[in-house]
A and B are shown apart, each in its own frame.
Chain A
Amino acid sequence: MKDLEDRQERIDNLKGLGCSRKRVEDARFTQGKGNYVDDVNLPGMLHGDFVRSPYAHARVKSINIDAAMALDGVVAVLTAKDLEPLSLHWMPTLAGDKQMVLADGKVLFQGQEVAFVVAKDRYVAADAVELVEVEYEELPVLVDPFEALQSDIVLREDIKDEKEGAHGARRHHNHIFLWEEGDKDATEQVLDEAEVVAEEMVYYHRTHPCPLEPCGSVASMDKINGKLTLWGTFQAPHVVRTVASLLSGIEEHNIRVISPDIGGGFGNKVGVYPGYVCSIVASIVTGQPVKWIEDRMENLMATAFARDYWMKGKISATKDGKITGLHCHVTADHGAFDACADPTKFPAGFFHICTGSYDIPVAYVGVDGVYTNKAPGGVAYRCSFRVTEAAYFIERMIEVLAIELNMDAAELRRINFIKADQFPYQSALGWEYDSGDYHTAWDKALAAVKYDDLRAEQAQRVEDFKAGKTRKLLGIGLTHFTEIVGAGPVKNCDILGMGMFDSCEIRIHPTGSAIARLGTISQGQGHATTFAQILASEIGLSADSITIEEGDTDTAPYGLGTYGSRSTPVAGAATAMAGRKIRAKAQMIAAYLLEVHDNDLEWDVDRFVVKGAPERFKTMKDIAYAAYNQAIPGVEPGLEAVSYYDPPNMTYPFGAYICVMEIDADTGEHEIRQFYALDDCGTRINPMVIEGQVHGGLTEALAIAMGQEIAYDDMGNCKTGTLMDFFIPTAVETPHYTTDHTETPSPHHPIGAKGVGESPNVGGVPAFSNAVHDAFRAFGLRQSHMPHDHWRIWKIANDLGLHG
């Protein structure tokens, strides 16, 4: 008994897997001692600021910088002409397209970068921006992707005659690609012969990740040593270094990229922006460090948007509700340049996860990418690549099919779920789902909210509404989502040719503490806390004795960064694997110290124990010391390991969410009465952190579903450029969430973990949106586009004749 207690105490002391360990990051953040990019201050540092286009489409006739240059304190004003000799007036995008760094002859969206002013401080830079005189000739504007594909107006004159793009044939001068997956003919045949077909256009509107910290960089070119140091808001610092090297011609070892603390990313900080390039060029030109920090308006108007997918769906089923086929055609509005952040071979990301949690025998997806006069982007805003779009699409189509079948939407889901014994499951669109138990999760969720009671209450509410006793409707929003996260594998997934592995390098110090460095970068996820927990469980040193470092390319091993919930599935796996290498060497050292054969030892929490003789052991701490002070025959001194992990497959977290919403039919106001979120992310590393991730992701989902959008008028003016109009909920609009979980480990991940940060956004948006739709189902609503802000909900009611 005592032994068991001792052992449990040793496990607890590790603060390893499953422990709600308090975060090591918090001491600095709660005391105002974080180090974000705008906190970087260097001697002689200059400040850059952009002149931006007020027009969505215009020819740039001339740029006069004389007045700006005459202003005291202005050091330089860069235009495309200055960048052209360096071939930096355009830059490659992550999607195989190219993008203007500074306007080269024309501008293609409002807020586009036209000139870069460099001055002694940000005040003078802002003044100088006003003094740069740009003469524009306005051109007709295209903001509708369907119109763009028909229009004679040429947006991208630089490629207007190119029939081949990065992703195959282009059929129109505003067309980017058609990307297809699945069996089109077979799907169409199934649809033609089906007993029931539901058809709907599902639009997932344009929005923006809008982290609280905007994007920025500080470039410092040391001309004496030939070294460039670049601090910035980079979710993928190593890739930024490679891109910076390829663009600038500076050798990669002479570039040091540092992602300091990042004030939220959510996909916004994956891409490479003109500001980064201009700060580098300006530092090279002036020989002084140059800082560029965008303001909120610039962030919303010019950096990466998300979504903007018009998804035309058809879903077929038998009369009793067994789904037989799914067809989807997407018109994807990519804006002025194709700057989507997707793995190279997937121009629509992993949208073809859109068969969702359901066993659908045949399916087809086609995605047309289109240029319009809007900002470029198309990033994965708190989701894996285009997975929120896919989840929203299928979860709406299921609801529409339920209406068509006159069936309960929970039951329709249940009879179509992939069954637990079907995993690993091969989807009709080519994915191999690693593990899942959807029925268990679903039943747990329905029981938790007392689903049948809710439906009864809803039916009564409809009666009361019709009888004039209430003006409030009740919506029950259901979602069962399946995420796909953790890109790699390298054979399928790369960014600009860089395989999407990730890495961990561990060094154990003689006194039994350690430092581990990873290729990822935390933006609030708490990597310094949770990766130490993974390692603690692997190597038997307390997480409190392990420092985690990321984000400095001079010290961290190469990795592809943090987005698409890939840190735990890929870098987390690398961490475990590197830990196991440490343990393998430690076993040899322990065997030497205990004078037994390696095979006579077994690992026990924090030590190697001689089998059958538990009093004879060496702790990892003992071993670490020995590694540095003993000459062990056949074993190198030191205790270090590195692992580059190429995952064999992606992981497939899933979850069941239920939202209960009260809706005022007269004003369009809503109140979320209950939100239940069950997540299955495989092995749970830190339940406290997981819960926090779920709360945050759900709140971003709430924002998107209920009001957040990047909207344009017909002239291409962005109507939502400040936080007055771009909806971010406060604590008052945000409901209380109930979280829950099941635990289905990934069979191929070293510790069975799947990733969780993005699940709540993937599942949350359809849950909120379905609640709105569901409230009006009894009155005949099939589909209404997000965001469901007051006036749009009011319009649903008005169109259904509910205002008398």
Chain B
Amino acid sequence: MIPSEFEYHRPGSIAAALAVLEEHGDDARVMAGGHSLIPMMKLRMADVPHLIDLQSIDELKGISVEGGKVTIGAMTTQHELITNDALAAAAPIMREAALLIADPQVRYMGTIGGNVANGDPGNDMPGLMQCLDATFSLHGPDGTREVQARDFYEAAYMTDREDDEILTRISFAAPKGGQAYEKQKRKIGDYATAAAAVIIEKASGKVASASIAMTNLSDTPVFSEAAGSALVGSDCGSDAMSNAVSAMLGDIDPTEDNRGPVEFKKHVAGVILRRAIERAWSRA
């Protein structure tokens, strides 16, 4: 497996990277950790005449937790997400989810920006970002704009990001309440058969708010407002969970693949979601 020829660019700033993108248009593509893109290039399923390696852009790195707001540079690796104690304190679900992504080597290279930006429905972070109601910052030739994760995904590998834009950072309010990321996969390193991100706030023994998103059960991550609403006001008991699961099942649209047929995936989606809700509630 050998990729086609390409020209390699390693700009040192966002501005420089945007300039290369502008110059080469559709022929150029940015690369973060490369662990999704490089295998595709080796299989010659992705043709990238101009490859823009973002590793030297310091502006894209770092995690900050300030005043209840979490900001993460797009080039922050999964490994850094896992080992950052401030992040773990502010949003423990980030570490929990990142540990379920790929394997140690891939987590040293794989970045949150790459994970959310390439639009692979199998990636874990997009669903989690929707659950957290995160905001993505996109830098383009006309400046910066911000898009909510919940509005970002259009279809498999299709997002709101324009070809001449770079996703530079992710921010979200440190979540309140109990959090859980639950994932069924065939083995270490696999994408989810089904995964659920759940955050529940508790007040006076009842669910005050709930945010629920699932992964790899549609051609985009699935944030289900209805599933969250089904829990609000309840004691998060069996009936409420069933209502949440029913709502979620109405929003997902899995397809058959080597992980199994549609019926199985729907069943597992319900089981995994229920487990995530139970765990989040127990932590709320």
Contacts and interface: CB of A to CB of B under 8 A. Distances in A.
Is A in direct contact with B (CB under 8 Å) within the complex?
Answer: yes
Interface of A: 122-123, 126-127, 130, 295-297, 666-669, 707, 711, 719-720, 724-725, 727, 729-730, 732-733, 789-791, 794-795, 798, 803
Interface string B183-201: 0101111100100000000
Interface in B263-280: 263-264, 267-268, 271-272
A733 B103 CA distance: 13
Contacts of B2: 122-123, 126-127
B64 interface: no
A794 B265 CA distance: 10
B187 A729 contact: yes
A789 B257 CA distance: 13
Contact of B4 (A127, A790, A803): A127
A127 B5 CA distance: 9
Contact of A719 (B187, B258, B263): B258
Interface string B116-129: 00000000000000
Interface in B109-150: none
Contacts of A711: 258
B1 A790 contact: no
Interface of B: prevailing SS:
loop
B250 interface: no
Nearest to A703: B187
Interface of A: prevailing SS:
loop
B258 A794 contact: no
> Interface size for chain B: under 10, 10 to 19, 20 to 34, or 35 or more residues?
20 to 34
A236 B263 CA distance: 47
12 contacts: A123-B2, A295-B1, A666-B267, A666-B271, A668-B264, A719-B258, A720-B258, A789-B260, A790-B268, A791-B193, A791-B264, A794-B268
Nearest to B258: A725
A297 B39 CA distance: 12
A791 B257 CA distance: 11
Contact of A730 (B103, B184, B263, B264): B103
A520 to B, nearest CB: 33
Contacts of B261: 791
B44 interface: yes
Interface of B: 1-2, 4-5, 43-44, 103, 184, 186-190, 193, 258-261, 263-264, 267-268, 271-272
B104 to A, nearest CB: 11
Contacts of A126: 1-2
A791 B188 contact: no
B271 A667 contact: yes
A717 to B, nearest CB: 12
Given A130-B44, A666-B271, A733 B264 contact: no
Nearest to A130: B44
B258 A667 contact: no
Contact of B267 (A295, A789, A794): A794
A5 B185 CA distance: 58
Given A295-B1, A667-B272, A794 B187 contact: no
Contact of B184 (A719, A727, A790, A798): A790
Contact of A727 (B4, B186, B271): B186
Contacts of A668: 264, 268
Nearest to B187: A733
A130 to B, nearest CB: 7
Nearest to B193: A790
Contacts of A666: 267-268, 271
Contacts of B184: 667, 669, 790
**Lowest 9 CB-CB distances: which A-B pairs, in order?**
A791-B260, A126-B2, A791-B264, A730-B188, A666-B271, A725-B258, A732-B188, A295-B1, A794-B264
